[in-house]
Amino acid sequence: MATVATSTYSNFINGEWVPSRAAKTFDDRNPANSDELVGTFPASTAEDISSAIQAAKDAFPKWRLTPAPKRAEILYRTAEILIERKEEFARDMTREMGKVLAETRGDVQEAIDMTYLMAGEGRRLFGETTPSELPNKFAMAVRVPVGVAGLITPWNFPMAIPSWKAMPALVCGNTAVLKPAEDTPLSTYHLTQALSEAGLPAGVLNVVFGDGPGAGAPILKNRDVSLVSFTGSTEVGRIVSEACAPTFKKCHLEMGGKNIIIVMDDANLPLAIDGAVWGGFGTTGQRCTAASRIAVQEKVYREFVDKFVARAKTLRVGDGLDPATEMGPCINEQQLKTVMNYVEIGVAEGAKLAAGGHRLEKGALAKGWFHEPTVFVDCNPRMRICQEEIFGPVVSIIPFESFDDALEIANGVQYGLSASIYTRNVNNAFRAQRDLQTGIVYVNAPTIGAEVHLPFGGIKNTGNGHRESGVAALDFYSDWKTLYVDYSDRLQRAQIDNSE
């Protein structure tokens, strides 16, 4: 394979790519081959963040007064640029994130879809009109921008999730400061470059690279930031929430998941196995919606286990740019060690290790952070491997007797993002949709596969009530302003006069 040239990148502040005030940098490396340097990025400081926030603050007055359809036209042009460069951006994403090329193409496509969706909202941004309770009085509510948005995004969907946050924020008339994960800065660089080339005015979107303490924390503390949207772990989300509270920042948290696939004894078993393999090992299990638990009814339990384990053992692990690869590496060495630690925990808890369980480090895999697709069977739902988010290619299979047992297992975790049921029984399908304690439910499909025009998010320790995607995202990135116009030419005292 030809050597790919690397570059040194800068922050994007007030419409220009500028170096950090400090000389510190960090490396963006290929998780499939840690010898490959994808790029060098600035380790931003509080001073850099302050400059970015000031640029966003200065740009806000003009941007909020730009007609929403005009803001949307810039987003539309951005989507066109992303389409033109989809393959280039997908390949770069595989180099820095590791997931297979088919998945990174999907990641870029999701950014395209979200950008088009929000471009369309620029000619809607619907409010409400309603009859007044008094004569000769007009009543309506409209959406208005909030201010400067602080956006903190993870590494597993390095273009899709920044687009989930940036596009609704911008179309609503906010300006923004975006800090991507330090493991995947190049994909956000590409998205930012596309927005800039599409004509986004200086200062409307600013991007600062760096880690959480150095670049993320100053965003949370700055009083000129009006709202914060964060995607990441529940532990860090709690820190974000506490940091936003003193200044009453609007705060959106999208956090962890411990998602389940329920397989009933009347399920289409081959379909359920296909879905469970994709849900458990897609993106190397590094999705907040990954199906890390599978509950299987006893009548079909052994057949499902045998076939699922056999499939897991045949998955080809390797470099995501290789067309034959079915599962890529973990994102970094720390995440690989986390996966290995949970395998040890599962064994110690008494779960049966039926497949995988080891790091892969021979031959072409020696310089990457690879782990075998791993399956534990005969699990107790209270085991740590069935309760805690692992964020890796580890799936735990749990037997159950009745549908009520399955619901109890599914809901018996601290998270509530996504759940799935495979069944041909329409009654059980509808009961599952009603009774599963998650923000997303799939029937006869895995726990992954969200579409951008519908709300995305969860309950319990997964989220704090807001949603990404769809029209629901506009509710976070805008405030409601209620307007009354009284043309009666006399004092009307609402409920006082209305009661007479």
CA distances to 44, 142, 158, 222, 390 from 51, rounded to whole Å, are: 11, 31, 24, 11, 37
Domain boundaries, the chain: 7-255+463-482, 260-443
**Token output for 91:** 């390949």
Please provide the average confidence, as pLDDT, over all residues in the chain. Answer: 96
**Token output for 311:** 């499939």
**Token output for 364:** 């072409």
Contact 338, 390 (CB under 8 A): yes
Mind listing the pLDDT tens digit for each residue in 193-221? 999 999 999 999 999 999 999 999 999 99
- How many residues are there in the chain? 500
**Token output for 243:** 């940091």
Across residues 45-70, what is the average pLDDT? 98
How does residue 2 score in pLDDT terms, banded at 50, 70 and 90? very low
Distance CA 395, CA 392 (A): 9
**Residue 273's closest CA among 256, 253, 294?**
294
Across residues 85-97, what is the average pLDDT? 98
The percentage of the chain sitting over the pLDDT mark of 70, rounded to a whole number, equals 98
**Residue 220's closest CA among 197, 246, 195?**
246
**Token output for 233:** 């772990």
Mind listing the pLDDT tens digit for each residue in 215-244? 999 999 999 999 999 999 999 999 999 999
Across residues 99-127, what is the average pLDDT? 97
Q: Write the CATH number of the domain with boundaries 260-443.
A: 3.40.309.10
**Residue 46's closest CA among 21, 14, 17, 18?**
21
How does residue 120 score in pLDDT terms, banded at 50, 70 and 90? very high
Per-residue confidence (pLDDT) for residue 23, from 0 to 100:
85
How does residue 3 score in pLDDT terms, banded at 50, 70 and 90? very low
How does residue 246 score in pLDDT terms, banded at 50, 70 and 90? very high
CATH class (in words) of the domain with range 7-255+463-482: alpha beta
CA distances to 27, 49, 55, 150, 162 from 21, rounded to whole Å, are: 18, 10, 15, 20, 24
Q: Taking the CB of residue 86, how many other CB atoms lie within 10 A of it?
A: 17
In sequence order, what are the residues at sequence separation of 6 or more whose Cβ sits closer than 8 angstroms to the Cβ of residue 421? 261, 262, 263, 264, 406, 428, 429, 432, 436, 441, 442, 443, 444
3-class SS letters over the chain: CCCCCCEECCEEECCEEECCCCCCEEEEEECCEEEEEEEEEECCCHHHHHHHHHHHHHHHHHHHHCCHHHHHHHHHHHHHHHHHCHHHHHHHHHHHHCCCHHHHHHHHHHHHHHHHHHHHHCCCCCCEEEECCCCCEEEEEEEEECCEEEEECCCCCCCHHHHHHHHHHHHCCCEEEEECCCCCHHHHHHHHHHHHHCCCCCCCEEECCCCHHHHHHHHHHCCCEEEEEEECCHHHHHHHHHHHHHHCCEEEEECCCCCEEEECCCCCHHHHHHHHHHHHHHHHHCCCCCCCEEEEEHHHHHHHHHHHHHHHHHCCECCCCCCCCCECCCCCHHHHHHHHHHHHHHHHHCCEEEECCCEECCHHHCCCCEECCEEEECCCCCCHHHCCCCCCCEEEEEEECCHHHHHHHHHCCCEECEEEEECCCHHHHHHHHHHCCCCEEEECCCCCCCCCCCCECCEECCECCCCECCCHHHHHHEEEEEEEEECCCCCCCCHHHHCC
Side-chain half-sphere CA neighbours of 60 within 13 A: 21
- pTM, full prediction: 0.95
Rama region for 351: left / alpha / beta (φ>0; ψ in -120 to 50; rest): beta
Per-residue confidence (pLDDT) for residue 1, from 0 to 100:
38
Per-residue confidence (pLDDT) for residue 499, from 0 to 100:
65
Across residues 353-372, what is the average pLDDT? 97
Is the four-CA dihedral 329, 333, 334, 339 of positive or negative sign?
positive
Contact 97, 158 (CB under 8 A): yes
Per-residue confidence (pLDDT) for residue 500, from 0 to 100:
58
Q: Taking the CB of residue 19, how many other CB atoms lie within 10 A of it?
A: 13
| Catalytic machinery residues | 254, 288
Distance CA 118, CA 116 (A): 6
Per-residue confidence (pLDDT) for residue 497, from 0 to 100:
82
Is the four-CA dihedral 220, 117, 462, 233 of positive or negative sign?
negative
For 1, counting Cβ atoms within 10 Å of its Cβ (0-12 exposed, 13-18 middle, 19+ buried), the class is: exposed
pLDDT > 80? residue 277: yes
| Most distant CA atoms of the chain, gap in Å | 86
How does residue 6 score in pLDDT terms, banded at 50, 70 and 90? low
pLDDT > 60? residue 192: yes
How does residue 134 score in pLDDT terms, banded at 50, 70 and 90? very high
pLDDT > 60? residue 65: yes
How does residue 22 score in pLDDT terms, banded at 50, 70 and 90? confident
